[in-house]
Amino acid sequence: MDKIDSITSKTVALPVENVDTDQIIPARFLKATSKVGLGSKLFADWRFDAEGKAKPDFVLNRPEASGAQILVAGDNFGCGSSREHAPWSLTDYGFRAVISTSIADIFRNNSLKNGLVPVVIDAASHAKLLAAPGAIVTISVADRTVTLPDGGKASFPIDPFARYCLLNGVDELEFLLSQDKEIAAFEKQRA
């Protein structure tokens, strides 16, 4: 995994609450056996009409959203299905972080394993970001902060291990594999 120290990008605002992973990537696109190319299906039913034409009013289809790597979304982002296809489609599309006032459990876990930084901030700071879509902000994983359009900063929680993995590009599976002795001892003691 690539190391992530900080991300600076313009934002795109999606002020919808409870965005579930069925919206992020509808189930009919889950028949793939690889994770490549899912970005083209991101938010498929919000981005495209029944004929597959881009809906001009959807925020990701507006010219000013192009190139944004930070998605600012409403509360409880990523709820519902455990499909890891959700962060896969977001990262494949070009997103590197999601900011909200809360992020669903499984989605947050899945994001961390794919270099998509889940950022949970207080409602007042979140409102500032929603009110200024397109603002250039910096998320610092090292400092656990995000800059705000008014020059302020909001801090966000991230558990020390997740932060360590992002900063050092460590893959959790490598870490678990390194615990082979402990796992074997546990199995032996239970047998």
Partner 1 sequence: MSMKPRTMFEKIWEAHLVRPPTADTPAILYVDLHLVHEVTSPQAFTWLRERGLKVRRPERTVATMDHSTPTTPRGRDGKIPVLDSAAAAQIATLEKNCADFGIELHALGTDGQGIVHVIGPEMGVTQPGEVIVCGDSHTSTHGAFGALAFGIGTSEVSHVLATQSLLQQPPRTLAVTVEGQLRPGVTAKDIILAVIARLGIGGGTGYVIEYRGSAIRALSMEERMTVCNMSIEAGARAGMIAPDETTFAYLKGRPRAPQGAAWDRAVAAWRQLPSDPGAAFDREEKFDASALEPMITYGTNPGMGIPISGDIPSATNATGEKALAYMGLQGEKRLMGHKVDVVFIGSCTNSRLSDLRAAASVFKGRKVADGVRVLVVPGSQAIKKAAEAEGLDRVFTEAGAEWREAGCSMCIAMNGDQLKPGQYAVSTSNRNFEGRQGAGGRTFLASPLTAAAAAVTGRVTDARDLV
Rule CB under 8 A: which residues touch partner 1? 15-18, 20, 22-23, 26-28, 30-35, 45, 50, 74-76, 79-84, 102, 104-106, 109-110, 113-114, 159-161, 164, 172-173, 175-177, 179-180, 182-183, 186-187, 190
> How would you classify the pairing of strands 117-120 and 97-100?
parallel
Our CB check for partner 1 shows the closer of 136 and 164 to be 164
Q: How far is the CB of 124 from partner 1 (least distance, A)?
A: 17
The Cα–Cα gap between 119 and 155 comes to: 9
Which lies closer to partner 1 via its Cβ, residue 10 or residue 75?
75
Residue 129 or residue 147: which is nearer to partner 1 going by CB? 129
Rounded CA-CA distance 23/26 in Å is: 6
> Residue 172 has what DSSP assignment?
H
State the nearest-atom distance from the C-beta of 142 to partner 1, in Å. Answer: 16
What is the smallest separation between the CB atom of 3 and partner 1, expressed in angstroms? 18
Dist. CA 119–CA 158, nearest whole Å: 8
Residue closer to partner 1 by CB (options 31, 56) is 31
- The C-alpha atoms of residue 164 and residue 167 are separated, in whole angstroms, by 5
Q: How far is CA 174 from CA 1, 67, 86, 163, in A?
A: 11, 32, 23, 16
CB of 164 to partner 1, least distance (A): 7
